[in-house]
Amino acid sequence: MATRLYEHEIFLEHITPPGHPERADRLRSLNIALEHGNFAGLERKQAPQANEDAVTLAHPEEHLFAVMRQMPEEEDEINQIEADTYASPKSFQAALTAIGGALAGVDDVFSGAADNVFLAARPPGHHAEKNKAMGFCFFNTVAIAARHGMKAHGAERVAIVDWDVHHGNGTQDIFWDDPNVLFCSTHQMPLYPGSGAKSEEGRFGTIVNAPLSANDGSEHFRDAFKSRVLKAVDNFAPDLILVSAGFDAHYRDPLAQINLTGDDFDWATGRLMELAGKHAHNRLVSVLEGGYDLEGLAESAGMHILRLMRG
C-alpha cells in the first residue's frame, strides 16, 4: 500500500503546562519509533497550514473567532481556555496545520497520490464540539476533513471510526443531524466526557456507540468492534473512511483502563482497511488523537502505521 505520513515541527510548539498529559514528547516518542528500518518506505511530508476558512466546514465563525481571541501573544505565556485545554502563542498555527494535514490527506487518497494517510499532529480534535473547545481540542480536525471530502471530492458517504478511549463527543455533536456521515466509537464508560451511550444514535441512526467498561480488555474490544463498528461501516458502504486514532486504550496509558496492546490496534486497522478496499477504493485517512503513555503510544501508533503500509 502507498502510505503517506504528514508531520510538522509546529506541532511541537503547541505548549501545555508542565505535567499536562497532552505534550510535545508524544510526537517525539513516535518519531523515535519511526526511525526503525520497518518504516524506510514510508513517505513523510510536511503538513501544509490550512486557511482559517477551513475551520468553518465544521464550526461556526463565532467559534473560530472565540478561539482566536484566547490565543496568547507573549512568549512563554499559556492561556487556559477551558478546564483542561490550554493555548500557547503557536497553538493556533499548530491547529491550522493539523487541519491542513488532514485536508491534504483526503486530497491524496482521492487523487491516488496515496492509498492511505496518517497524520501525526497535535493538538487533537475529537472533543471539540460545534461551539466549544474542550478536552485538549480547539477544532475538530477529523470532522473538518469529512466535510472537505464531501465538498471538494463529492464523497456521498463518509464513515468516521473513533477508537480513542474517550468518547468523541465533538464529532458526535457535529454530525448528529447528518445522514451522510456515520460516526462509530469504542470508548470506556464511565469516563470523560460522559457521553457515548448505546442509546445515543443521532437523528438518522448514523451514530453508533460501543461503550466498554474498565478492564474489559482485548476480547471485549474486538467483539464490540466487530459486532457494532465494522457491521455499521460495512452496511453504510462509505466512499471514505476516517479514523480518530487515539491510542490511550493501551494498557500502559495513565488515563484509562481498557488494557489493549499494539496487536489490537494492528487488528482494528486491518479490518478497517478491508472495508476501505471493499467500499472506498482503499481511501482511509487516520488522524492522531489521544495516547499519553509515551511507550504505549509509540508501540501502538507504530503498529497502526505499519499495518497501513503493508495492507
Catalytic residues: 127
Q: Which 3-state string (H, E, C) describes the chain?
A: CCEEEEECHHHHHCCCCCCCCCCCHHHHHHHHHCCCHHHCCCEEEECCCCCHHHHHHCCCHHHHHHHHHCCCCCCCCCEEEECCEEECCCHHHHHHHHHHHHHHHHHHHHHCCCCEEEECCCCCCCCCECCECECCECCCHHHHHHHHHHHHHCCCCEEEEECCCCCCHHHHHHHCCCCCEEEEEEEECCCCCCCCCCCCCCCCCCEEEEEECCCCHHHHHHHHHHHHHHHHHHHHCCCEEEEEECCCCECCCCCCCCCECHHHHHHHHHHHHHHHHHHCCCCEEEEECCCCCHHHHHHHHHHHHHHHHHC
